[in-house]
């Protein structure tokens, strides 16, 4: 699993300055690559109801759970790539984390990280630096890395930092939507502005961008839709006519 291998390789150089409490969970959430994760409390992990169904999703479940609950973890050496249990322990923590952040306490913890901008800001200009939340494209382990969701444009993006290698199942596909269901006052208004492609101030008619082979068909279909004075008329909107009309070359 890509994310888990990275943990062991980069452990020493990616430790955060904040010291761990000596537990496996403390060590794991303090890794820089895991900055999107919040800490799941032991009482939540120890409640068997919260682990229902995970026995069949993680190999060596009992050993992985024992390791996860280890309060005297050897932080000097951290993740040992020769121990397969270490990978499954991280998988198990990720699946428990995905459940925990849907609970009221988990949403509170993720809210603190959201408010601090830990998950980044939407790169879309018209979203004006909207805060984002992590999301998985699926709920299954190993299918895709985590993405970040913008509640303003309602689209997903690639995270920009090291957390981009985290497995998306550690957050699940429901998290941001449950978050805003619980905290609806945080849901931003949709963006008002939308980028409009223009050439020399004129809106670019969509038929001007149609490949030559389908140009004539598209032009016929769109003739009746081109009455806007700010849009180039479809009768002159072929690439050749644009060049002739404005005496410039489209590249
Ligand atoms: Zn956005």
With a cut of 70, say whether residue 31 has pLDDT above it. yes
**Domain assignment of residue 67, yes or no:** yes
**Domain assignment of residue 102, yes or no:** no
Centroid of ligand 1 to alpha carbon of 104 (angstroms):
25
Centroid of ligand 1 to alpha carbon of 133 (angstroms):
11
Residues 209 and 148 in one domain: no
Q: Which helix (H) or strand (E) holds 149?
A: strand 147-150
| Residue at which a domain ends, from 38, 64, 97 | 97
**DSSP 8-state symbol, 156:** E
Centroid of ligand 1 to alpha carbon of 170 (angstroms):
22
**Domain assignment of residue 205, yes or no:** yes
The Cα 233–Cα 250 span in angstroms is 18
Alpha-carbon 77 to chain mean position: 30
Q: How confident is the model at residue 239 (pLDDT cuts 50, 70, 90)?
A: low
CATH number at residue 152: 2.20.25.20
The whole domain housing 27 covers: 2-97
Q: What pLDDT score was predicted for residue 20?
A: 66
**Domain assignment of residue 68, yes or no:** yes
Averaged over 43-57, what is the pLDDT? Answer: 95
Averaged over 138-155, what is the pLDDT? Answer: 96
Average pLDDT taken over every residue of the chain: 80
Enter the pTM of the model.
0.75
User: For the ranges 26-30, 80-84, 191-195, which has the lowest average pLDDT?
Assistant: 80-84
With a cut of 60, say whether residue 251 has pLDDT above it. no
Total structural domains within the chain: 3
| Residue at which a domain ends, from 97, 128, 143 | 97
| Residue at which a domain ends, from 44, 72, 97 | 97
């Amino acid at each position: 699993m890509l994310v888990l291998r990275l943990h062991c390789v980069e452990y020493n150089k990616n430790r955060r300055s904040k010291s761990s409490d000596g537990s496996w969970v403390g060590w794991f959430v303090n890794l820089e690559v895991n900055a999107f994760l919040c800490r799941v409390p032991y009482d939540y992990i120890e409640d068997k109801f919260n682990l229902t169904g995970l026995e069949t999703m993680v190999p060596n479940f009992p050993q992985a759970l024992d390791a996860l609950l280890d309060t005297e973890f050897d932080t000097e050496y951290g993740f040992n790539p020769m121990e397969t249990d270490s990978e499954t322990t991280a998988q198990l923590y990720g699946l428990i984390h995905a459940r925990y952040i849907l609970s009221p306490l988990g949403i509170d913890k993720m809210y603190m990280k959201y408010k601090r901008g830990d998950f980044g800001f939407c790169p879309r200009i018209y979203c004006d630096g909207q805060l984002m939340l992590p999301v998985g494209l699926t709920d299954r382990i190993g299918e895709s890395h985590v993405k970040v969701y913008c509640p303003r444009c309602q689209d997903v993006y690639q995270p920009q930092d090291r957390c981009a290698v985290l497995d998306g199942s550690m957050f699940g596909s429901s998290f941001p939507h449950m978050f805003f269901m619980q905290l609806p006052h945080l849901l931003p208004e949709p963006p008002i502005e939308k980028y409009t492609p223009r050439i020399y101030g004129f809106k670019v008619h969509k038929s001007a961008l149609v490949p030559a082979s389908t140009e004539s068909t598209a032009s016929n279909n769109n003739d009746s839709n081109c009455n806007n004075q700010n849009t180039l008329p479809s009768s002159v909107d072929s690439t050749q006519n644009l060049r002739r009309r404005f005496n410039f070359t489209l590249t």
